[in-house]
Chain A
Amino acid sequence: MTMSSALPTEQRRKWEHFPHDADVGLRGWGATPAEAFEQAACALMAVVTQAEVNPKIAVRLKCQAPDLELLFVEWLNAIIYEMAVRNMLFGRFLVRIENDRLEGTLWGEPVDVERHAPACEPKGATYTALRVAKDTDGRWSAACIVDV
């Protein structure tokens, strides 16, 4: 089984934040799980900044998990890790999922505190409110709470 989205994610907002008492919920939608993952990554970045993030540098990553939901948490945590160690923000994402493996590309730039005015730092994606599923309208959604 191979799933990947045809286009990268910019300009097509198909994500949302949903409330949690202390932290923040993320949800992305797409025609495929891969696209829903990409959109949720946009939602993750919007927790940090509402400014535009220029896609200057590409970072590639891989992750693996026994099911799609756990893979979704892995994906978000891999992005959080790259943000932290590279001191970067990302604005564009491309995901390819094959069985239990994910290959992703993140495009972004180093944090510019004045321009990005980062509001907060994600600590980790959690298994709370975690759901990756095909909704009744045929679209995929991917959601969980992120600790900030």
Chain B
Amino acid sequence: MDPARFTRVDGTTWRVEPSGTMRVPVIIYADENLIQDMDDKVLEQAANVARLPGIVQASYVMPDAHWGYGFPIGGVAAFDPDRGGVISAGGVGFDISCGVRTMLTGLSVADILPVQKQLADSLFHQIPAGVGSESAITLEAAEMEAMLARGAHWAVARGWGEMRDLERIEEQGRMAGARPDFVSDRAKERQRREMGTLGSGNHYLEVQAVAEIFDRVVADTFGLVQDGVVVTVHCGSRGLGHQIGTEFLKEMVVTAKEAGIDLPDRELACAPINSEVGQRYLGAMRAAINCALANREILGHYVRRVFAHFFPDKQLRLLFDVSHNTCKVERHLADGKRRDLFVHRKGATRAFGPEHESLPAALRPVGQPVLIGGSMGTGSYVLAGEATSEAKAFSSACHGAGRALSRHAALKQWSGRKIVDDLASQGILIRSPSTRGVAEEAPGAYKDVGAVVAAAEHAGLARSVARLRPLICVKG
């Protein structure tokens, strides 16, 4: 995009004032280079979001934004139910509660290197990933209901996880207000044999080393030490979330019209929060959040099992588990008043600052861990929520590097086999059922995650704590 289309507020804040039927401005947090590299569609989509009823303050765009469907990926928008605010299935996306969890292993790089290859093979064989992989778990009706109502609590009760994990998962591991009865039979059928599977596309499991520490005090609190090893899992609510997204998108296209909402793009399909459809979506979407939380808890359990085989005296502790495709009710200061708002984050991470009441006591002094996935070769970041983020973007930050090239372009440019070999020569072992899938996720297809994180930090959305470099990457 041409930065000249914006009013530059400061080095990382850019505004477009409302015009036409826009109700609020668009505010993008990014540096000039990141803006230049963004597709024009990002602004078009963010401006469309600004047209939706009941939107509060601004349609926000994070530094890793790219062209999505309906909302841009990296879009944040809050809606006030008392002012006709809407909830949008497109604003949450298909992979409801897709997110990232990072676990601390207590190991160092020197412990991993002698068994790196065996560990990579073992993780790849033990953790179902990709199309055609099979889950060891089949959920019958009663178990499905329990899982959808109780999230990670259900997984822990079934022996797939640890009680102490729960306080380090958003919503303490269980999204309240879930309505399994609002989830269709087709969505449940799609999930019946998918618990504890990683999925595919940009989903992954990585063993990572702490490569650099930027904030020693916060890193100490998080349990991150130089050359320490962590395991990060990126995945979501699998087929159940995809099906709920599909079904409500279809329904909301019709009901939005009936409610007199002029949709600038059908993909923005939405319903008033205070409507029957809106409430039904909310209940189903929350059940899908529980599905994602349970799924990541189970995957964490599988990781623990593999590590216990190699390192029987080490216990893996959860650093944190965050989601980046959600709509959550949060109390925020808007127009001088604290109000309950429905905050949509589509490819954006919640980033609560220090002293936030939802954080466990151990993390409260420093803020919420914000886990940023990079690409296979470039590494990931751990950030901490900042108090300033509330006024900037309802306590939100970026979620990843963001794609710079389409899958289509990536396939033309890279061979999966060569990427696997090149990364292996740098000490990064890739395991995937598909070399083409690897090519589509080539490191060069992503933006510079360092630039994204620097922009998020400069903008006051979150502060850098540590950089992680991959040692092993399992991709579906």
Contacts and interface: CB of A to CB of B under 8 A. Distances in A.
A88 to B, nearest CB: 9
B266 interface: yes
Interface stretch (A3-11, A90-98, A100-108, A123-131): A123-131
A21 B39 CA distance: 8
B69 A126 contact: yes
A146 to B, nearest CB: 10
A65 B249 CA distance: 13
A50 B439 CA distance: 14
A88 B278 CA distance: 34
Contact of A128 (B133, B265, B476): B265
A130 B243 CA distance: 19
A138 interface: no
Interface stretch (A32-40, A52-60, A109-117): A109-117
Interface in B179-226: 186, 189-190, 192, 194, 199-201
Interface residues of A, number: 42
A70 B251 CA distance: 11
Contact of B69 (A18, A23, A81, A113): A23
B113 to A, nearest CB: 29
A71 B95 CA distance: 22
Nearest to A69: B266
B243 A22 contact: no
Contacts of A23: 69, 407
Contacts of B267: 126-128
Contact of B73 (A21, A50, A84, A117): A21
Interface stretch (B331-339, B421-429, B430-438): B430-438
24 contacts: A17-B408, A18-B408, A19-B407, A20-B67, A20-B408, A22-B403, A23-B407, A24-B407, A65-B250, A84-B190, A84-B194, A85-B239, A113-B433, A116-B132, A118-B130, A118-B131, A118-B132, A118-B434, A120-B131, A121-B199, A127-B90, A127-B265, A127-B266, A147-B242
Interface of A: 17-24, 48, 50, 65-66, 70, 73-74, 77, 80-81, 83-85, 87, 89, 111-113, 116-121, 123-128, 130, 145, 147-148
